[in-house]
């Protein structure tokens, strides 16, 4: 009897185990279906977003197509404007070149004798200037007045020296070209 009772109990546990395994299998099947369902929901959401994006692109397409066409047209107009500007620039340069070419054609040819005459005249002029500027004077000047004294080159009026007022010491300097000594408002001396 104990054996029968144990067999019955064992059979009862086997039935409960079988029932539990069936429930586990059903649960696993349900869990797999639930995971697939969640995956499908995510896929559906992704596809909805994709459809939404495509619909927006379809709505925006005509406007974008017009903008693209305008951009192509503007690019072509820009290239044409660049070509016109380049043409105008090159035409100006060509005209300037032709004017210079014409001006050069109008020059009288220079012979080697003419070049020799110019070189001799330049040499003569150089010697004349040398004689004119063949000065070497050591000057001393004291300014006790209220005005500055300016010493300028006669040839180009550049200031060689300024002796400031109330300079009670002698200021010593060399003069090796014709000069103008100017005390503004008082006197001017050329030497």
130 within some domain: yes
- In the sheet with 187-190, reading across from the earlier edge strand, the strands are 159-163, 149-153, 179-183, 187-190
Host domain of residue 58: 1-107
C-alpha 131/C-alpha 125 separation (Å) is 10
Q: Is the same domain home to 88 and 160?
A: no
Provide the token pair at 143.
């300014």
Provide the token pair at 52.
């939404």
Q: Is the same domain home to 123 and 100?
A: no
Bridge partners of 182?
A: 150, 188
CB 178 within 8 A of CB 191: yes
Supply the pTM of this predicted model: 0.32
Question: pLDDT 10s per residue in the chain (191 long)?
Answer: 677 777 788 888 888 888 889 888 998 889 888 888 988 888 898 999 999 998 988 888 888 888 988 989 999 888 888 988 988 898 899 999 988 888 877 777 777 888 888 888 888 777 776 666 666 778 888 887 788 889 898 878 888 888 887 777 788 877 877 888 888 888 888 87
Strands 179-183 and 167-175: unpaired
């Amino acid at each position: 009897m104990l054996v029968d009772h144990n067999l019955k109990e064992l059979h009862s546990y086997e039935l409960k185990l079988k029932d539990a395994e069936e429930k586990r299998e059903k649960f696993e099947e349900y869990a797999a279906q639930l995971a697939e369902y969640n995956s499908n929901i995510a896929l559906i959401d992704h596809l909805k977003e994709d459809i939404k994006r495509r619909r927006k692109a379809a709505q925006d397409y005509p406007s974008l197509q017009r903008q693209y066409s305008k951009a192509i047209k503007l690019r072509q107009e820009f290239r044409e404007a660049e070509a016109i500007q380049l043409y105008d620039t090159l035409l100006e340069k060509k005209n300037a070149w032709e004017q210079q070419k014409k001006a050069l054609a109008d020059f009288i040819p220079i012979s080697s004798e003419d070049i020799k005459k110019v070189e001799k005249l330049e040499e003569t002029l150089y010697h004349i200037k040398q004689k004119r500027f063949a000065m070497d004077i050591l000057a001393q000047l004291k300014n006790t007045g209220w005005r500055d004294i300016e010493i300028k080159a006669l040839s180009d009026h550049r200031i060689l020296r300024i002796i400031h007022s109330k300079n009670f010491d002698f200021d010593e300097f060399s003069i090796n070209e014709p000069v103008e000594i100017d005390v503004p408002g008082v006197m001017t001396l050329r030497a």
